[in-house]
Structure 1
Amino acid sequence: MLIDRHGGPEVIRLGQVATPAPAAGEVLIRVACAGVNPADWKCREGYLSAFMQATFPFVLGFDASGVVAAVGAGVTGFVRGQRVFAQTGVGAGQWGSYAEYVAVGQDCVVPIPDNVGFAEAAAVPTPALAAWTGLFDDGALRPGQTVLVHGGAGAVGTFAVQLARAAGATVAATCSAARRDALMALGCDLAIDYRASDIGAAVRAWAPAGVDLVLDAVGCGTLPMGLDLLRPGGTLVAILTLASGDHGPDPAEAARRGVRTAIAFSKMPSGARLAEIAALLHSGRLRPPRIECLPLEQAAQALELVRSGQAASKLVLQVC
C-alpha cells in the first residue's frame, strides 16, 4: 500500500514495486502482519516530516511480523524461515511494513516467542516500546513506586499497565467504564472511569501524597491537573500526539512545583528493548491488547478508524 504524496485516506493506493534487497546489516522479512498505529496516519499526512524525509512512492507501516526471507552481508543470528517481528525504519524515511516484504536493520529485529502468533506480534513493537520508554527511560520507574497511566485502555496504556506491574510498581489507570474489568485483569490496582469520576479526587484518595509517575498516553490537554497529581520530586511523562497545540506539560511550571516533566522519545535502536519485551511475552507476564485483523487492502479504512478513535481493538493488517 503506497502513498505518492502526503494527505488523507485518498492518497493510499495498492501498487507493485520491486522486492527490496537487504543491504549489509539488514534482514529481509516476508511480512505476515503489519500493526496499525497512530504514527502511521500521521506519517501519511506529513506530521512526521520534521523527523523524517519520505521519498515517494512511500510504504507506510512502523510494525511488522513475519519470517526471514534473506539477510544482508554481516548479519548473524537469523536464518531463512525464522519467525521474527520488528520496528521498521519508517521513522528514518525507509519503507515500512504495509507490503509483502520489508528490509529492516538487524538491530531492530527480534525472534517471535513460540507462544505468540503473527497478528499478536505485529501489535507489539511501537506501543510497547513507547510504554517502555515512557516508564523506564524517561520516567525512571523503580519497584515500589506508584504510577498513573492516563489512557490505560489504549495499546500504549495496556502495555504500560503491565510493564509497570511487572517492574513492581502499584498502578492506577484512567479508562472508560467498559474497559475497567479488562484493565483490572491485567493487574491494575485502580481503574478510574474518566467520564464519571473526578480523576484528581480519585488519585488523591488512592495516593494522598501524590504518585511518583504520571504517564500521559492521551495528550491534547485531557489531563489538565497532571502536575497536581505528583508527589514532590515526581515525574510527568507525555507521549505527544503531534496534534496542533499539543506541546505537552510546561517544564517551567513543573520546576516551580518541584516536579519534572519529560517527553517520551526512544533514544536507542529498538531491538534490545524489544527483546526484553519478547521475554515478558514468552513468560506470560505481558499480553498484547485485543486485536482485530483486516486485509492489507483495507489499510486506508484501518487508518481512518485509528485516526477517528473509533477502533475498538488494536488493528492489524493481514499481509501474507
Structure 2
Amino acid sequence: MRAVVVTQPGGLDALEVTAVPVPDPQPGWVRIKVKAFGVNESEVTTRAGESDPEVTYPRIPGIEGVGVVDQAPADSGLRPGQQVATMMGGMGRSFDGSYAQYVTVPTGQVIPFETDLPWEVVGALPEMFQTAYGSLARGLDLKAGQTLLIRGGTSTVGLSAATLAKDLGATVLSTTRSPKRAEELRAYGVDHPLVDNGRIEEQVRALVPDGVDAALELVGCSALPDTLRTVRRHGTVCFTGALAGQWSIPDFTPFMIPGGVRLTSYGGEARDLPAEVFQHQLDGIAAGRIKPSIAGVHHGLEQVRAAQADVEAGTMGKPVVVLDD
C-alpha cells in the first residue's frame, strides 16, 4: 500500500509518500480501508519531532481516520464494508496511523456509523467532535438552558463545541482575538462573540452578571485564571487545550481558584464518543442543525504536505485529505 512516512523529524519535506506492506491486524484489532482523515496540530508536532516521548521513527502519522472495515475479528460485531471512524488511542504515535491506504487499530476504538454524507465531511469530524463532546458531556456535564463560555473559540474544537452546545440547547459565548472573526463565530451558532484582549471577565459579567454556568478552556494556563473568574459559584471550568502553549502555572496554589468554582480537565479517547452520539452528530449535519468546521479538502496522499501547511498557517477549520479510489 501507499502511505506517508516520517523517517526522521523535519520540515514538510519529511512527509514522504512511499510503498509499505499492508498491515496485518493483531488479535483483537481491526483493519480499516481509509477513505479520509483530518489533519491536526499534533501531527505537525509529530512530524517536527516535538511530540510525546512515545513517538518513535519511522512512523506513519495520523491520529484519526474514517473508512470501511476491511478485516475484523469474528466476535467484534463489525463486518467488512461497514462505515467506521477511529481516533486517538496511540494512533500515529505509539503505532502507525491513518496517513495511509489501510490502518489497523484496536476494536475498542472503532466507531460504526451510517451516513450518506461525503467522506470529505465525515473525515473532518472524529477527533474534533470527540474532544468537543467529551469536554461538554464528561468535563462540564452541560445541560440545555445553561450558559457556556468557550475560550479559544475559533479553533476546530472551539467551533465544534459551539455547534454541539447549540444543538443541545445552551447559550454560547465564545472568544476570538480578531474582531474580523466575530461573525464567523455567529455562523457556528455563537450567541455572543467576544474579542479576547487577555482579560474577558468584565465582558462576560456584563452579559451574565452572576457568571456563566460552564467554561471550556482551550487557550491554556495563561488565560485560565481569568476564565475561572467568569464562572458562577458552583459552575465548572474544563481545561482541554493550550493553544497558547502554556500547559502549567508556575507556583500554582488551589487558592487561585475562586471560592466555589470547580476546575476539571478533559483528555479523552474514542470510547468517550459513543456510536449513538456520533450518529446523532452526523444526522444533525445532514439536517443542517450542526455545522462542521472544514478548512479545505485535499485529494491524495501527495497533498498531506499542503494540508499540514494549512495547519501551520493557522487556517480556520480542519483540513481534510480524501483518498480517491
Q: TM-score, normalised by structure 2?
A: 0.85
- The correspondence of residues 237-252 of structure 1 with structure 2, limited to 5 A, is 237-241=238-242, 245-247=246-248, 252=254
Match of 2:147 in 1: 146
SS in 2 for 1:119: helix
Residue identity in the other structure for 2:319: L
Given that 1:29 and 1:66 are in contact with CA atoms closer than 8 Å, whether structure 2 keeps it comes out as yes
The equivalent position to 2:195 in structure 1, one of 193, 201, 219, is 193
> For each residue in 1:218-241, what CA deviation from the matched residue of structure 2 results, as whole angstroms up to 9, or x when unmatched?
336256521211111222222233
CA 1:304–1:243 in structure 2 vs 1: closer, same or farther (change >3 Å)?
A: farther
- Structure 1 unaligned regions, length at least 5: none
Q: In the TM superposition, what are the counterparts of 1:39-58 in structure 2 within 5 Å?
A: 39-50=42-53, 53-58=54-59
Whole-angstrom CA distance in 1 between matches of 2:145 and 2:256: 23
Kept after mapping to 1: 8 A contact 2:87/2:270 = no
Amino acid paired to 1:130: T
The aligned amino acid for 1:13 is E
Which residues in structure 2 correspond to 1:1-320 (within 5 Å)? Answer: 1-50=4-53, 53-76=54-77, 78-87=78-87, 89-90=90-91, 93-175=94-176, 176-194=178-196, 199-219=200-220, 221-222=222-223, 225-241=226-242, 245-247=246-248, 252-266=254-268, 269-270=270-271, 272-283=273-284, 284=287, 285-294=289-298, 295-309=300-314, 311-320=315-324
Decide whether aligned partners of structure 1 residues 45 and 74 sit closer, same or farther in structure 2, where only a CA change above 3 A counts.
Answer: farther
Gaps of 5+ in 2: none
Checking the alignment, whether the CA contact within 8 Å between 1:40 and 1:61 is kept in structure 2 is yes
Q: Is the 8 A contact 1:23 1:72 kept in 2?
A: no
Percent identity, aligned pairs only, is: 31
Shift of 1:254: 4.2
Closer, same or farther in 2 for the Cα pair 1:15/1:70, shift >3 Å? same
CA 159–81 in structure 1, closer or farther in 2 if over 3 Å, else same: same
The SS at the match of 2:19 is coil
Distance 1:218 1:243, change over 3 A: closer
Which amino acid in the other structure matches residue 267 of structure 2?
A: F
The letter for the 2-side match of 1:287 is K
The answer as to whether partners of 1:110 and 1:271 remain within 8 angstroms in 2 is: no
Question: How many angstroms does 1:62 deviate by?
Answer: 1.0
The change in CA–CA distance for 1:264 and 1:48 in structure 2 (over 3 A counts) is: farther
Q: How far has the Cα of 1:248 moved from its partner?
A: 6.3
Offset from partner CA, 1:152-195 (integer Å, 9 cap, x none): 22210111112222333221111344443343243322112336
Shift of 1:247: 1.9
Q: 1:121 to 1:40 in 2, by over 3 A?
A: same
Measured in 2, the distance between the counterparts of 1:105 and 1:251 equals: 40
Number of residue pairs matched? 314
Aligned residues: CA RMSD: 2.7
- Residues 240, 247 of structure 1: 8 Å contact kept: no
CA separation of 1:243/1:255 partners in 2, compared to 1, >3 Å: closer, same or farther? Answer: closer
| Structure 1 range deviating more: 34-43 or 174-183 | 174-183
Deviates more, 1:92-101 or 1:67-76: 67-76
Q: Check the 8 A contact 1:290/1:314 in 2, yes or no.
A: yes
Q: Using the alignment, how far apart are the partners of 2:213 and 2:47 within structure 1?
A: 36
Tell me the distance in 2 between the aligned counterparts of 1:85 and 1:302: 20
The range that moved more, 3-12 or 92-101, is: 3-12
The Cα of 1:41 is off from its aligned counterpart by 1.5
